[in-house]
């Protein structure tokens, strides 16, 4: 990895950490917020959807805006808005206001990681990109790990308002780091956004069969993997095994599995290649979901989530790398559509799993998710093993707005 690439990863890592830290702090607080605001836990759990859905819906806007105005400029602006939304959450007086602020925070966070991936696609060659993105994921996953774990561990000391204050400070630090790191690029004149060329680029991307496979894959994996997360705290409490602290530690297992993947990604690529990586990732994630479905001790759930994190990132990082080559001339737009699909699935997954838990019970709902993620790994391994066909000149003209 060159010095320039390493510096790029460090700058982007600061913003990525801040955005994922903000996204995960609420999950261990569901029980506490439900009591303070006198709301049902199932309703408070939808705060995760309130963050994830705007994150998804803003993507079709932020992608072409980043391509036109400059990715660095959009990332800094989004981190600034995220900081303000988190700071306002400290003084939220009712659950409706908190829902609104989580929606604003989610929309702002939506401009960070997808555009960071697009910047790495612009500046890092394909043969080194999966390892580079894997290193960037260390910061993203640490944000998830620290967000859920710290929130659960310190809520008893500083309260949930203190947790939001800490989140705002983290976002402010990330914004400052990116602002300094991209100071030269931010001084350069930006481009100009135009709706017509943006729409033509999107049509060309969606006409690509490989893009459709990748977008569908992340939608399905998000439902299968992330739907259970906001419900874990309530399930653990219902079994009489603890509260926010235990839920935070269980959720931290997922991040720990992702960190293990980030450290092992180079070795896994050499041993498995991308096709077998997808097959193995689906199998590992499926086994982990079955284990959680058995409703054992919270310590067993924590170990299962380590495996779930490993299996998920074996799938997801492979999809991320491939989507950066779907449309090199409109990389931010392609990655934004990918993120849109992923977070639509994540937002829908909370409601789907809630209904599944009611209708099928914990084992039935999670066994269904296990079968879904296993099938996804096998199907995408087959579909994505086909070589990328060269783009026609007509498609290239469409991408460039001609």
pLDDT at 377: 94
Cβ atoms of 230 and 349 closer than 8 Å: no
Residues 151 and 219: their CA atoms lie apart, in Å, by 27
Number of structural domains found in the chain:
1
pLDDT computed for residue 306 by the predictor: 94
**Which has the minimum average pLDDT: 11-15, 85-89, 166-170, 344-348?**
344-348
* 200-243 pLDDT tens trace: 778 888 888 888 999 999 999 999 998 888 788 778 877 777 77
Task: Tell me the pLDDT band of 402, cut-offs 50, 70 and 90.
Answer: very low
C-alpha 177/C-alpha 203 separation (Å) is 35
358-378 exposure pattern, b = at least 16 Cβ within 10 A, e = fewer: eeeebeebbbbbbebbbebbe
* Coil, helix or strand at residue 58: coil
- Angle ∠(121,125,126) on CA atoms, nearest 5: 80
Beta strands per DSSP E along 73-143:
none
Q: b/e for 293-304, b at 16 or more Cβ within 10 A?
A: bebeebeebbbb
Lowest mean pLDDT among 41-45, 73-77, 105-109, 267-271: 41-45
Which pLDDT belongs to residue 390? 45
- pLDDT value, residue 18: 93
Alpha-carbon 1 to chain mean position: 25
| CATH number of the domain residue 347 falls in | 1.20.1250.20
CA-wise closest residue to 121 among 131, 113, 129, 111: 129
CA 2 to chain centre: 26
What's the whole-number average pLDDT of the chain? 84
CB 123 within 8 A of CB 29: no
What is the distance between the alpha carbons of residues 63 and 115, in angstroms, rounded to a whole number? 7
Q: Model confidence at 67, in pLDDT bands (50, 70, 90)? A: confident
Residue 323 has pLDDT above 60, yes or no: yes
> What is the model's pLDDT at position 290?
92
Tokens at 293, concatenated = 């479905």
Helix locations, 182-243, DSSP H: 183-187, 195-206, 209-226, 229-238
Residue-level pLDDT at 232: 81
Model confidence over 104-122: pLDDT tens digits? Answer: 999 999 889 888 988 888 8
Who wins on pLDDT, 391 or 294?
A: 294
The Cα-based distances of 12 to 9, 95, 382 in angstroms read 5, 33, 32
Over residues 276-298, the pLDDT tens digits come to 999 999 999 999 999 988 877 88
Separation CA 139–CA 158 (nearest Å): 25
Q: What does residue 228 show for φ and ψ, rounded to 5 degrees?
A: -80, -20
| Listed ranges 101-105, 130-134, 138-142; the one with the highest mean pLDDT | 101-105
Domain assignment of residue 371, given as a range: 3-399
Q: Could you tell me the pTM of the whole model?
A: 0.74
pLDDT exceeds 60 at position 401:
no
User: Could you tell me the pLDDT band of residue 164, with boundaries at 50, 70 and 90?
Assistant: very high
């Amino acid at each position: 990895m060159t010095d320039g690439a390493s510096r790029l990863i460090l700058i982007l890592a600061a913003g990525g950490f801040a955005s994922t830290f903000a996204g995960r702090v609420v999950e261990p607080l569901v029980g506490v917020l439900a009591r303070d605001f006198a709301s049902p836990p199932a309703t408070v759990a939808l705060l995760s959807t309130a963050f994830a859905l705007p994150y998804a819906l803003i993507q079709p806007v932020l992608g072409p805006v980043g391509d036109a105005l400059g990715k660095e400029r959009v990332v800094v602006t989004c981190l600034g808005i995220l900081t303000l939304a988190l700071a306002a959450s400290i003084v939220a007086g009712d659950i409706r206001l908190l829902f609104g602020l989580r929606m604003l925070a989610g929309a702002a966070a939506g401009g960070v990681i997808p555009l960071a991936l697009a910047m790495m696609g612009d500046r890092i060659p394909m043969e080194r990109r999966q390892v580079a993105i894997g290193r960037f994921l260390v910061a993203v996953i640490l944000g998830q790990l620290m967000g859920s774990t710290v929130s659960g561990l310190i809520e008893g000391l500083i309260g949930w308002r203190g947790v939001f204050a800490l989140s705002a400070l983290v976002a402010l630090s990330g914004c400052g780091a990116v602002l300094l790191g991209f100071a030269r690029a931010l001084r350069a004149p930006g481009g100009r956004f135009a709706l017509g060329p943006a729409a033509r680029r999107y049509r060309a991307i969606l006409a690509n069969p490989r893009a459709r496979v990748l977008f569908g894959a992340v939608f399905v994996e998000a439902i299968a993997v992330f739907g259970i997360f906001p419900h874990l705290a309530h399930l653990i409490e219902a079994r009489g095994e603890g509260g926010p602290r235990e839920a935070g530690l269980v959720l931290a297992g997922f991040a720990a599995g992702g960190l293990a993947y980030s450290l092992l990604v180079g070795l896994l690529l050499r041993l498995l290649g991308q096709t077998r990586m997808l097959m193995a990732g689906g199998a590992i994630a499926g086994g982990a979901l079955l284990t959680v479905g058995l409703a054992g001790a919270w310590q067993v759930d924590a170990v299962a989530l380590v495996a779930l994190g490993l299996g998920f990132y074996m799938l997801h990082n492979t999809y991320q790398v491939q989507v950066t080559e779907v449309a090199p001339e409109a990389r931010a737009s392609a990655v934004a559509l990918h993120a849109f699909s992923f977070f639509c699935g994540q937002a829908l997954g909370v409601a789907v799993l809630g209904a599944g838990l009611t209708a099928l019970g914990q084992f039935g709902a999670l066994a269904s998710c296990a079968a879904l993620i296993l099938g996804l790994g096998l199907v995408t391994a087959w579909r994505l093993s086909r070589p990328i066909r060269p783009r026609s000149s007509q498609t290239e003209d469409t991408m460039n707005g001609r």
